Structure 1
Amino acid sequence: MILCTKMNGNGNDFLIIDNMDLRYDKETLSGYAQALCRRRESLGADGILVAEPSEVCDFKMRLFNRDGSEGEMCGNGARCIARYAFLKGIANDPAMVFETLGGSVEAVVKGSRVVLKLAPVDVSGLLLNAGASVGDYDFSYAFLTVGVPHTVIFEKEKLESEDRYREIGRSIRMRTDLFPEGSNINFVSQRGSFDKGLEVITYERGVEDLTLSCGTGSTASAVAAFKAGLTGPVVDVYNPGGLNRVSLLEGPSETLLPELEGGASYIAEIEASEEALEKYN
């Protein structure tokens, strides 16, 4: 049996594992992600979040995607693990700092909502309005790193279906000539007008599918829109799973300091049986 906590941030759902005693190694956690995150066949989730000890912060967050790969950072996941850490006593204060592979994250838990201060985003080499195509789909994009690599496409018109977003997102994500490490793909449109917010659909690397929400994708989309002069520094980002609010402050040396606010819902405590961990197909 393995104890997991099911949480979601705007529909981006995770299984959280307490590994503060380091009983599970990387290979084991990668296997758990591939086995437990299978929908319909097992517990189902977009990924696994793991709380581990840190020598410099309150704790360390690790992220294992549904395909077993370890990701650097996840904004919605960071909100979930911050609330989890406070509720479980891993962090003794609602204001905390934790490690990720994408940099340290400051968080403040406010009931079922969490505000994150993400690591600075370097915009000195921000790529804006580059052109490319996949098949018959021509697009202009921005590329930047918000803990993980993100491609932001400002749509002239929306695609006709989720399947089409999935197809195009997967094709762009696989363009290793453009993105050697792969990329998350964010399709962005205005919500009536840009001053009313952004609507964002994200195809996530590692999940290899559309997700209901992506916190770093919301942040990347807000950064790209702000630097393109389309929005102000406070941007409401509407994902299919809900609202993320992104606030941007100018930092030193051509950086932006993003804050990300959104929900972190505590769903259930689950004991996964050995059958849930059986060899996946």
Structure 2
Amino acid sequence: MRFTKMHGLGNDFLVIDGRELANIDYGAMAVKECARHTGVGADGILVVENSDAADIRMRIINSDGSEAEMCGNGIRCFAKYVYEQGIVKKTQMSVETLAGVMRPELLVKDGVAEQVRVDMGKPFLECGEIPVEGEGRCIDRPISVLDKELRFTSVLVGVPHTMVFVDDLGAIDISALGNAIEHAPVFPRRTNVNFVHVIDENTVEMRTWERGCGRTLCCGTGASSTAVACVLNGKTGRSVDVRIALGTLHIDWAEDDHVYMTGPAAVVCTGEF
């Protein structure tokens, strides 16, 4: 089976054209091939499938074999792949996901998609929508994990995300705290976790622990959720640069209430397993 390895600012994926495939256990494949030391190595698998609801369908399989509703870095890689492979011959396309139909727009130069802007849709802010135990909006609430008293804000942008604002990203154990928060009882479907340091009203820095993947270098839905949480907590404006380990994602929470994410995607290699 042929694959293309891609990444969005370090969040890497194996992209597979599954339109002509049948009876494939993508969960087992992800566990095997995403392993860093014994497989190809990736945070997940993106599967291209035909769609009756959009131009194309994207499935996201995490490295632990679970299936995710949406992935912000993944959809940028996916859109670049289907465009450059000639599967969808549009710079503005519709992509069916478990979180709904997403609409990426490719910024193309000489036939190569250099940047992708994605309408991530409207964020869901109520506890029951995310979901988080409790009522109303989940803004600046207390949580106790690993003998630490923290405060968190949760939103849903494709998938559930929980933001914890910190003064120093280097002073916290992201893996230990991220894992503990992900599995905290207050999150019935678990949660992705983003630790956020606010630099100024236009810029923040983020580190992510992803549900089903662990620590990742970048998370597009996480950056989108972080921007929303910053606005809800009065920490930034609605247009924010989110810095991660390998670069920056630009996020706009527009007046139409939609969140727009802009960032790069790149091909690493192609191969066969």
Paired residue for 1:197, among 177, 189, 203?
203
Displacement of 1:227 after TM fit?
Answer: 1.8
Displacement of 1:24 after TM fit?
Answer: 4.3
Counterparts of 1:158 and 1:81, CA distance in 2: 30
Task: In structure 1, give the amino acid aligned to 2:91.
Answer: P
Task: In structure 1, give the amino acid aligned to 2:249.
Answer: N
- 1:188 maps to 2:183: no
Counterparts of 2:14 and 2:253, CA distance in 1: 30
Displacement of 1:230 after TM fit?
Answer: 1.3
- 1:131 maps to 2:161: no
**Corresponding position of 1:150:** 161
1:128 is paired with a residue whose SS is coil
Unaligned runs of 5+ residues in structure 2 are 108-112, 127-135
Give me the CA root mean square deviation.
1.3
**Farther-moved stretch of structure 1 (115-124 vs 43-52):** 115-124
- 1:168 maps to 2:177: yes
- 1:239 maps to 2:244: yes
Task: In structure 2, give the amino acid aligned to 1:240.
Answer: A
Higher relative contact order (CA 8 A, sep 6+): 1
Displacement of 1:23 after TM fit?
Answer: 2.4
CA contact (8 A) 1:12 1:241 kept: no
Counterparts of 1:52 and 1:5, CA distance in 2: 15
Deviation digits for residues 135-173 of structure 1 (CA, Å, limit 9, x no counterpart): 222110001111111101111443536xx2111111111
2:106 is paired with a residue whose SS is strand
Counterparts of 1:9 and 1:24, CA distance in 2: 29
**Corresponding position of 1:264:** 265
2:22 is paired with a residue whose SS is coil
**Corresponding position of 1:80:** 77
**Corresponding position of 2:133:** none
Matches within 5 A, 1:30-69: 30-69=27-66
Total equivalences in the alignment? 259
Counterparts of 2:59 and 2:224, CA distance in 1: 20
- 1:140 maps to 2:148: no
1:269 is paired with a residue whose SS is strand
Relative to the length of structure 2, the TM-score reads: 0.91
Counterparts of 1:206 and 1:109, CA distance in 2: 28
Task: In structure 2, give the amino acid aligned to 1:202.
Answer: T
Relative to the length of structure 1, the TM-score reads: 0.89
CA contact (8 A) 2:30 2:44 kept: yes
Q: Percent identity?
A: 36
